[in-house]
Chains A and B, each alone.
Chain A
Amino acid sequence: MDMVYLTFILILSVFLGFELIQKVPATLHTPLMSGANAISGITLVGALVGAGGEGSPLTIFLGTAAVTFATINVVGGYLVTDRMLAMFKKKGTKK
């Protein structure tokens, strides 16, 4: 049942993703990509249980590495996207 339910979520989210992104203007392609990239760092959530769980030292080590990499992805991704978006200005609006 778990599998069916998770697959159900997957299919719906994929369709939602297609609908959401379809109309993004070309100007925002880079921020969209790096913003989406930051979201893919969600693996961090999965890594937390590995790093903090009662697993073997190896599991904890791998978990900590995963937490570190995913955090770089998340923090770096969001900050860099924000930095880019802050630069986008319309005509007539001054800094």
Chain B
Amino acid sequence: MPTVILINLSYTVAAVLFILGLKFLGNPDTARRGNALSSLGMLLAVVVTLLDHAIIDYRWILLGIVAGTLIGAFAARLIAMTAMPEMVALFNGFGGIASLLVGCIALSQSQLDRFVLLTIFMSIMIGGVTFSGSLLAWGKLSEKITGRPLVFNGQRFVNGGLFLANIACGVMFVQHPEQTLWLVLTVLLSTSLGVMTLLPIGGADMPVIISLLNSYSGLAACAAGFAISNNILIVAGSLVGASGIILTNIMCKAMNRSLANVLFSGFGAASGASNKIEGDVKAISTEDAFYILEAAQSVVVIPGYGMAVAQAQHAVKELQGLLEKNGCEVLYAIHPVAGRMPGHMNVLLAEADVPYDLLLEMDDINPRMETFDVAIVIGANDVVNTAAREIESSPIYGMPIINADYARTVFVLKRSMASGFAGLDNPLFYKDNTRMIFGDAKETVNKLIRELSS
């Protein structure tokens, strides 16, 4: 059998494995198998490509693969679960730069028509934006640089101008591929665009941005596939692109904002204290909280990014166990954008051995919120901010929230009265049935555990 046919047949099999893999990833029972199938598809695609007659020297390939495998495997094994968002961002960036480089390499092919040049430009541009954007996201998530949004006057115009300059550069590149200037400019402009796009993005918007960058990395691979006429790159790339777009959309809906609003508004940077809420905050000690918890029949835990910061997930799980022993039903309510990436809370709680069927989505928990004796809000703020329902002038008005305040008693575990990421005051804290427990979330939970187990 000619090698070309063998390679393409194998690519077909690899594509099927990717598709089945993604399908199985959609169900918790089969997800692990799905991931294994998809990795098998990748292995197959890589191995048969090595049979390509165009490859004459395996030394550099071997070097790259060994180095990449070592780095990737070590990073994947050593990374703490709480650092998962930045890890995903970083891997994503590597995918982006790989597409950028493949685009550059594709320039050395013999036949370059306009269409191929256009796709080369696109793989470089999307790859560049993905790379620098993901690196910045990684920096912000790992707090190597400040996670606060950085906004300045005319930011939109600068970014818009940068985008247009990038496109103009692409036009020149397609017309004059022999002039290296346009290639270099494309690389520079696209990487700056990635950085500039990420500057106004703050922590709470990260779930949207990570999903979007994920989508970009797929699209970049897809464009690279066009550039070198390789169908497996196109299939795999567009599958990833589509899945990223769906996730982005889910995240935007969960914040009641458009993608444009997330990208350009610099949410939370400038919103002053426009809505001062009148009323008193009622703080209680862990001792008093314990008496209420001991009598509770049902408890719902609403975690947010603060739980990840305090690394409180294991303590929460222990508290859950003690409450259950006491005959209390414990459930978790997870907002789609709680944390810094889609599904962030689910991963953390899974790490702490909380069964995933105790984790309820917002739409499932809200109708029965009245039936809970106690709602414990741990490190969450904006996702339970009742201003979204009550204060029409609030920037988050209309955002779907978890209605913690409908529970009989609400405990809010909070470090201090400082406002949440969005810089907004939260009317929930002033409600009659709300009790604040100040202090480090993990310590507070541990104190409750001690009270309950004694």
Contact = CB atoms under 8 A, between A and B. Distances in A.
A93 B42 CA distance: 31
Contacts of A85: 31-32, 35
A29 B242 CA distance: 14
Interface centre among A30, A49, A90 (most CB of B within 10 A): A30
Main secondary structure on A side of the interface with B: helix
Contacts of A50: 101-102, 105
A93 B354 CA distance: 11
Interface in B329-380: 334, 336, 341-344, 346-347, 350-351, 353, 355-359, 361
A17 B234 contact: no
Interface in A1-36: 2-3, 6, 9-10, 13-18, 20-36
A25 B29 CA distance: 12
B52 interface: yes
A78 to B, nearest CB: 4
Interface stretch (B151-159, B221-229, B300-308, B384-392): B221-229
B272 interface: no
A63 B91 contact: no
Main secondary structure on B side of the interface with A: helix
A37 B45 CA distance: 16
A86 B32 contact: yes
Contacts of A93: 355
A15 B280 CA distance: 53
Contact of B243 (A32, A56, A71): A32
A47 B38 CA distance: 19
B401 to A, nearest CB: 15
B238 A14 contact: yes
Nearest to B118: A3
A71 B68 contact: yes
| Range for the number of chain B residues in contact with chain A | 35 or more
Contacts of A65: 64, 97, 101
Nearest to A71: B68
Contact of B97 (A32, A55, A69): A69
Contacts of A30: 84, 88, 341-344, 346-347
B359 A27 contact: yes
B67 interface: yes
B350 A88 contact: yes
A7 B227 CA distance: 12
B60 A60 contact: yes
Nearest to A19: B242
Contacts of B102: 43, 46-47, 50, 66
A35 to B, nearest CB: 5
A25 B362 CA distance: 12
A72 B95 CA distance: 8
Contacts of B34: 35
Interface residues of A, number: 83
Contacts of B54: 49, 52-54
Contacts of B353: 87, 89, 95
B343 to A, nearest CB: 3
Interface stretch (B75-83, B165-173, B418-426, B433-441): B75-83
A81 B60 CA distance: 28
Given A37-B92, A85-B31, A53 B55 contact: yes
B237 A42 contact: yes
Contacts of A86: 32
Interface centre among B22, B31, B230 (most CB of A within 10 A): B31
Interface of B: 18-19, 21-23, 25-29, 31-32, 34-36, 38-39, 42, 45-46, 49-50, 52, 54-58, 60-61, 63-65, 67-69, 71-73, 75-77, 79, 81, 84, 87-88, 91-92, 94-95, 97-99, 101-102, 104-106, 108, 115, 210-211, 214, 217-218, 220-222, 224-247, 250, 334, 336, 341-344, 346-347, 350-351, 353, 355-359, 361
12 contacts: A17-B239, A18-B242, A27-B343, A35-B38, A39-B38, A49-B52, A49-B54, A60-B57, A74-B72, A75-B69, A80-B79, A90-B356
Given A40-B237, A60-B57, 10 more contacts: A13-B235, A16-B239, A29-B341, A35-B21, A38-B42, A51-B60, A55-B108, A77-B76, A84-B81, A90-B355
